[in-house]
């Protein structure tokens, strides 16, 4: 009763929390944004246009697999056991996941459910899949070849012959044939005595060396084989006869040649006609002094698979990315040995892709345009690079130009591109947010698959719009929603570095967004405040004007010319202030054109955006209780400059809010600014129109609450509890004499208060057991009741009634949020809580819920209409030359046997063929022609027509499943019962190959071109 009476003394006559009971305070877990731990694996499916990201197991959460599609499409897959994700591979409609506990888990993209899980008896060191087959090949650490036991390092299918597999062991590589069930060729790299090798120093070249293999790759057409070794050597082999074509490193060539010249750097620039190699610090002997192992290699190709290049991660004294552009592959049949060696010795160009200084690229992923074959490296358009710090870097290929992840990558990945350093939350009207859509010049979308699932319709008229500041000075603005349908999922970007005029020292400390005005203010640790406005670029495509020097303190700098030329419509820089008063500690951008910034020195600055101009400055330690006179801006400004400081000294602003209220003793309402300080005081400033047509500000009073900092200030109406913020309608009502009777709910770290500004106190509540890190007045939608919600250091969220400030309920939140970062968490007016769960992931919760946990994503990933393209095959010339080739269907029978039931992929393919046949029949029926396979068709003219007609009739009689099984059996019979015919396949193919070889040799001898005669022995 005493608290209620004190609430009445503070100006509140009604119980604003009536109807809110303890059982109504329960946490609903709505959503996650970001990545729960460091990225450990990446995979991309160009057919479905999906991106999969695997994370490591850490104290912040288990290893998870995130599968991203267009807009906000995201499905999270969880392995059966807690582990770190080590390998991800898309395979048609499935995703293969390998973790560090050697579990191989297969998820179906159509349902997102686990299809199979296998724990092999050993350590899985390599995995190979192919979209055209339904098998996973696993390489084990104890892989056995003849009598030697060596760990398998890598596996890769031949790009054009699925029946040939390249197996990399620690001491060499072999080419294995499924058809012949034996190893065809072996590649064992040896650095002879006197040769430098890939990166050895001169004192270590006395003996023969056998460097260990780390990677093995096919040429995009299978013409060559590449093996990479731990000494930095790149060995190129001829898979037909097993001979070494050339050995080099990133900087040096002929590293396996034992002569005096090979002891020194064979840099590409020293050879005539060679491309320029990247500059690398060398040792006094001329060889690379420090060599990092290769993190990942990719043999890329353009749309023409013969035009290739090698993307190398690591392997040089700088741990970045290097691209060797080899150009079109020489014709093997008409090239001599030196010509083939020079192809690898002298690339057309060498690109050193730019990466952040001091950052190491630990993994990378190519984004191909269309085909999933060629090891995912055919015609790539971009690279995703994972840095050692855990950040994600997006670059164009092969130039390496940075690609902004805004509206290119999902919002979740934007949290690590680069890391988020500051987060703010604003309440923006839905209609206003729908109109804020950025138009920026961008390349093709990288991820555009999947479809968003059905979610609840909008819960509130206002949207939770998040602002994230990143380490590179990028500001991103996006809608986090309320666990409902997000109608505008686009991200808006502001370029802080361009606005400030520099690209370093861009540590953001405060942000404030005005949704009604479409303006954003950003405060920096260096003291600047940059202001952006959503508008249209008057001159898109034109280079930005030269950056002028920023204005001195006390003046505004026009930065409207510092616009990104590629931005057509979005957040454009408007003005900048640099008071040089230390870091910005508090910032508020109102909906009615005023911006206030507080600094570490204790100074505050009020800016009127109608100029823009600075209309008032003050220093907090100069304000005392009872002062209400007008402070002249000029004198105060000079005083504050004399006392400026770069660190938090004395009293400084910690919270700011604008409102429209009637002050104590006034007969009218006015625009008010409330400033909470680090010493528990709340200052009030009155903003009034001046006779000159501009606005001025005057100090109205200050009240002391406690000795610790003010966390939040919430002006509310006394009668209804509705927010008394300075909105457009509220300010417009001042012209008609409208009065707003209200109070300010002020929360400090140790207590909560209701204040009648500028001097009167109402009810108060001292917090027990913990400090308050964040607070806000929340509204229970539908009931109109209000309460005060706060986050506390003991890991709880507590709700207090208004105006009595009695505790209604308390809920544990530390099992979801990181309690060490609760000071960075935000409580919204709708009761939503946006807080950190780890270094790069945030959770969206609601205090006025029903206890629901995080629900599975309703998004859909797999689109059956996107058909997997056929697998590349060997050329006609290769077929004539006797290359033994088997189709994916043949391999399916070899591995699975003739009795294996058809897989879901086979059934879907057969169903698609059937639908296509029915459509053809309908089109033929409309034109009056016979289809040749329908029930009313005429007599078949060919065996195929007879077979199609028979299969259609059998399908109608025996049912679809029986028809599928019979078709598989017929395929086996038509292949001659592979079990018996494969025994004779090697002998038949060998004799046939000898006949073809003699025929080809005879034709070559009769060739008219004389220079071909010197090449017949190759």
**How far is Cα 296 from Cα 911, in angstroms, rounded to an integer?**
39
**How far is Cα 109 from Cα 96, in angstroms, rounded to an integer?**
10
**How far is Cα 53 from Cα 898, in angstroms, rounded to an integer?**
37
In percent, the amount of the chain with pLDDT more than 70 equals: 81
Instruction: Determine the average pLDDT of the residues in 544-568.
Output: 86
Q: What is the pLDDT of residues 403-413, one digit of tens each?
A: 999 999 999 99
Whether 642 has a pLDDT exceeding 60, the answer reads no
Q: Could you tell me if 415 and 399 are in contact, meaning their C-beta atoms sit under 8 angstroms apart?
A: no
Let me know how long the chain is: 1018
Report in angstroms the alpha-carbon separations of 165 from 133, 175, 213, 990: 13, 6, 17, 20
Phi, psi angle pair for 773, to nearest 5°: -100, -30
Greater confidence (144 vs 908) lies with 908
**How far is Cα 108 from Cα 452, in angstroms, rounded to an integer?**
17
Q: Could you tell me if 662 and 621 are in contact, meaning their C-beta atoms sit under 8 angstroms apart?
A: no
Least confident of 266-275, 752-761, 928-937: 266-275
Q: How confident is the model at residue 588 (pLDDT cuts 50, 70, 90)?
A: very high
Q: What is the pLDDT of residues 842-880, one digit of tens each?
A: 999 999 989 999 999 999 999 988 888 999 988 777 677
Strand 439-440 relative to strand 420-429: parallel, antiparallel, unpaired?
unpaired
Q: How confident is the model at residue 693 (pLDDT cuts 50, 70, 90)?
A: confident
Tell me, rounded to whole angstroms, the distance of Cα 815 from its chain centroid: 26
What lies within 8 Å, CB to CB, of 895 at 6+ separation is 133, 135, 178
Least confident of 349-353, 502-506, 996-1000: 996-1000
In percent, the amount of the chain with pLDDT more than 90 equals: 61
Whether omega for the bond prior to residue 654 falls within 30 degrees of 0, making it cis, is no
Greater confidence (383 vs 784) lies with 383
Q: What is the pLDDT of residues 718-758, one digit of tens each?
A: 999 999 999 999 999 998 889 999 999 999 999 999 999 99
Whether 278 has a pLDDT exceeding 60, the answer reads no
Residue with tokens 């029986």: 962
Whether 384 has a pLDDT exceeding 90, the answer reads yes
Instruction: Determine the average pLDDT of the residues in 259-282.
Output: 42
User: What pLDDT score was predicted for residue 944?
Assistant: 40
Torsion of CA 37, 41, 46, 49, to 10 degrees: -10
Least confident of 89-93, 171-175, 601-605, 664-668: 664-668
3-state secondary structure of 264: coil
For residue 790 the two structure tokens come to 């706060």
Question: Which DSSP helix (H) or strand (E) runs through 989?
Answer: helix 978-1005
Q: Could you tell me if 803 and 39 are in contact, meaning their C-beta atoms sit under 8 angstroms apart?
A: no
The 8 Å CB, 24+ separation contacts for 890-894 are 890/163, 890/179, 890/975, 890/978, 891/133, 891/162, 891/163, 891/178, 892/133, 892/134, 892/135, 893/971, 893/972, 893/975, 893/978, 894/163, 894/178, 894/179, 894/978, 894/982
User: What pLDDT score was predicted for residue 975?
Assistant: 44
User: What pLDDT score was predicted for residue 920?
Assistant: 83
Q: Could you tell me if 796 and 810 are in contact, meaning their C-beta atoms sit under 8 angstroms apart?
A: yes
Least confident of 456-460, 565-569, 596-600, 729-733: 456-460
Q: How confident is the model at residue 279 (pLDDT cuts 50, 70, 90)?
A: very low
The CB density around residue 929, as the number of other CB atoms within 10 Å, is 9
For residue 742 the two structure tokens come to 């209200």
The 8 Å CB, 24+ separation contacts for 79-84 are 79/103, 79/105, 80/105, 80/114, 80/117, 82/57, 83/57, 84/40, 84/54, 84/55, 84/56, 84/57
User: What pLDDT score was predicted for residue 625?
Assistant: 65
Average pLDDT for the chain: 84
User: What pLDDT score was predicted for residue 880?
Assistant: 73
Q: What is the pLDDT of residues 888-917, one digit of tens each?
A: 888 877 777 777 777 676 677 677 777 888
Strand 519-524 relative to strand 695-704: parallel, antiparallel, unpaired?
unpaired
Burial 614-642 (b: 16+ CB within 10 A, else e): bbbbbbbbbbeeeeeeebebeebbeebbe
Question: Which DSSP helix (H) or strand (E) runs through 509?
Answer: strand 508-514
Architecture of the domain defined by 2-14+417-437+457-543+550-846: 7 Propeller (2.130)
Q: Could you tell me if 964 and 948 are in contact, meaning their C-beta atoms sit under 8 angstroms apart?
A: no
User: What pLDDT score was predicted for residue 135?
Assistant: 86
Q: What is the pLDDT of residues 956-1014, one digit of tens each?
A: 444 444 544 555 555 445 444 434 444 444 454 455 456 555 654 555 555 444 444 44
Closest CA to 312 of 434, 219, 220, 228: 228
The CB density around residue 669, as the number of other CB atoms within 10 Å, is 22
Least confident of 102-106, 454-458, 474-478, 831-835: 454-458
Q: Could you tell me if 247 and 238 are in contact, meaning their C-beta atoms sit under 8 angstroms apart?
A: no
Question: Which DSSP helix (H) or strand (E) runs through 743?
Answer: strand 742-748
Tell me, rounded to whole angstroms, the distance of Cα 199 from its chain centroid: 35
Question: Which DSSP helix (H) or strand (E) runs through 905?
Answer: helix 904-927
Greater confidence (811 vs 628) lies with 811
What sign has the CA pseudo-torsion 702, 704, 708, 710?
A: negative
Domain residue limits, the chain: 2-14+417-437+457-543+550-846, 885-1005
Instruction: Specify the pTM.
Output: 0.84
Q: Could you tell me if 135 and 94 are in contact, meaning their C-beta atoms sit under 8 angstroms apart?
A: no
Tell me, rounded to whole angstroms, the distance of Cα 900 from its chain centroid: 40
Q: How confident is the model at residue 316 (pLDDT cuts 50, 70, 90)?
A: low
């Amino acid at each position: 009763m005493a608290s209620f009476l004190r609430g009445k003394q503070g100006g509140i006559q009604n119980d604003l929390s009536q109807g809110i009971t303890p059982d109504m305070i329960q946490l609903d877990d709505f959503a996650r944004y970001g990545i729960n731990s460091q990225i450990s694996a990446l995979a991309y499916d160009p057919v479905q246009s999906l991106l999969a990201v695997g994370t490591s197991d850490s104290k912040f959460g288990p290893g998870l697999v995130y599968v991203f599609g267009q807009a906000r499409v995201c499905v999270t897959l969880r392995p059966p056991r807690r582990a770190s994700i080590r390998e991800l591979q898309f395979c048609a409609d499935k995703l293969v996941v390998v973790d560090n506990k050697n579990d191989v888990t297969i998820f179906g993209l159509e349902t997102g459910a686990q299809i199979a899980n296998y724990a092999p008896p050993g350590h899985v060191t390599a995995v190979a899949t192919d979209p055209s087959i339904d098998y996973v090949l696993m390489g084990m650490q104890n892989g056995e070849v003849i009598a030697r036991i060596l760990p398998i390092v890598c596996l890769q299918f031949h790009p054009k012959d699925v029946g040939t597999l390249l197996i990399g062991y620690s001491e060499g590589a072999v080419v294995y044939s499924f058809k012949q069930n034996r190893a065809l060729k072996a590649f064992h790299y040896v650095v002879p005595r006197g040769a430098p090798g890939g990166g050895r120093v001169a004192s270590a070249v006395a003996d023969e060396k056998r460097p260990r293999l780390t990677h093995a790759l096919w040429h995009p057409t299978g013409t060559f084989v590449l093996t990479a070794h731990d000494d930095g050597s790149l060995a190129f082999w001829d898979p037909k006869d097993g001979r070494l074509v050339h050995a080099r490193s990133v900087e040096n060539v002929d590293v396996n040649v034992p002569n005096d010249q090979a002891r020194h750097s064979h840099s590409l620039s020293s050879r005539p006609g060679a491309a320029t190699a990247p500059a690398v610090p060398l040792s006094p002997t001329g060889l690379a002094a420090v060599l990092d192992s290769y993190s990942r290699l990719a043999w890329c190709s353009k749309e023409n698979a013969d035009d290739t290049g090698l993307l190398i991660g690591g392997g040089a004294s700088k741990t970045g990315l290097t691209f060797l552009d080899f150009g079109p592959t020489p014709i093997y049949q008409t090239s001599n040995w030196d010509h083939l060696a020079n192809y690898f010795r002298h690339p057309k160009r060498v690109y050193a892709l730019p990466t952040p200084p001091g950052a190491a690229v630990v993994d990378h992923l190519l984004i191909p345009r269309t085909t999933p074959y060629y090891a995912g490296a055919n015609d790539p358009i971009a690279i995703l690079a994972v840095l050692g710090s855990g950040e994600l870097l997006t670059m164009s290929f092969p130039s390496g130009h940075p690609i902004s992840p805004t509206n290119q990558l999902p919002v979740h990945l934007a949290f690590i591109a680069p890391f988020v350093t500051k987060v703010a939350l604003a309440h923006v009207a839905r209609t206003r947010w729908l109109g804020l859509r950025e138009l920026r010049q961008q390349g093709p979308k990288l991820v555009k698959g999947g479809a968003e699932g059905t979610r609840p319709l909008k819960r509130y008229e206002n949207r939770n719009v998040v602002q994230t500041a990143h380490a590179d000075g990028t500001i991103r603005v996006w809608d986090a929603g309320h666990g409902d349908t997000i109608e505008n999922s686009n991200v808006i970007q502001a370029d802080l570095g361009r606005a400030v005029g520099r690209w370093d020292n861009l540590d953001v400390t405060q942000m404030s967004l005005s949704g009604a005005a479409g303006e954003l203010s950003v405060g920096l640790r260096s003291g600047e405040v940059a202001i952006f406005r959503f508008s249209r670029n008057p001159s898109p495509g034109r280079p930005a004007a030269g950056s002028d020097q920023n204005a001195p303190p006390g003046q505004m700098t026009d930065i409207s010319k510092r616009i990104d030329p590629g931005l057509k419509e979005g957040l454009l820089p408007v003005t900048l202030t640099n008071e040089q008063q230390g870091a910005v500690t508090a910032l508020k951008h109102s909906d009615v054109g005023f911006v206030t910034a507080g600094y570490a020195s204790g100074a505050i600055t009020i800016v009127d955006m109608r100029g823009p101009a600075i209309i008032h400055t003050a220093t907090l330690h100069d304000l005392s209780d009872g002062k209400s006179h007008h402070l002249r801006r000029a004198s105060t400004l000079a005083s504050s400059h004399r006392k400026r400081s770069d660190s938090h000294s004395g009293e400084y602003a910690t919270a700011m809010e604008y409102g429209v209220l009637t002050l104590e003793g006034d007969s009218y309402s006015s625009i008010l600014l409330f400033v909470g300080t680090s010493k528990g005081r709340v200052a009030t400033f009155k903003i009034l129109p001046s006779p000159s047509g501009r606005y001025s500000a005057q100090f109205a009073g200050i009240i002391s609450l406690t000795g610790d900092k003010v966390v939040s200030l919430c002006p509310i109406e006394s009668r209804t509890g509705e927010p008394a913020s300075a909105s457009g309608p509220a300010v417009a009502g001042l012209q008609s004499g409208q009065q707003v009777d209200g109070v300010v709910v002020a929360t400090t770290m140790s207590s909560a208060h209701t204040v009648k500004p500028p001097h009167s106190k109402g009810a108060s509540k001292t917090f027990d057991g913990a400090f308050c890190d964040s607070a806000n007045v929340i509204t229970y939608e539908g009931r109109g009741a209000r309460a005060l919600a706060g986050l506390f250091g003991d890991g709880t969220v507590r709700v207090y009634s208004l105006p009595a400030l009695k505790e209604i309920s308390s809920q544990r939140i530390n099992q979801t949020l990181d309690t060490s970062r609760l000071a960075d968490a935000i409580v919204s007016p709708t009761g939503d809580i946006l807080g950190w769960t780890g270094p790069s992931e945030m959770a969206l919760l609601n205090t006025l819920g029903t206890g629901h946990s995080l629900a599975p994503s309703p998004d859909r990933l797999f689109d059956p209409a996107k058909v997997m393209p056929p697998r590349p095959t060997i050329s006609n010339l290769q077929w004539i030359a006797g290359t033994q080739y088997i189709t994916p269907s043949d391999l399916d029978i070899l591995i699975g046997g003739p009795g294996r039931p058809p897989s879901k992929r086979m059934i879907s393919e057969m169903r698609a063929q059937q639908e296509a046949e029915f459509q053809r029949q309908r089109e033929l029926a409309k034109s009056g022609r016979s289809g040749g396979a329908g029930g009313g068709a005429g007599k078949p003219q060919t065996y195929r027509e007879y077979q199609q007609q028979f299969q259609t009739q059998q399908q109608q009689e025996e049912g679809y499943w029986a028809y599928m099984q019979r078709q598989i059996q017929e395929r086996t019979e038509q292949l001659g019962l592979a079990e018996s015919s494969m025994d004779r396949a090697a002998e038949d193919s060998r004799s046939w190959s000898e006949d073809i070889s003699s025929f080809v040799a005879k034709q070559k001898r009769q060739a008219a071109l004389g220079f071909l005669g010197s090449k017949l022995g190759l």
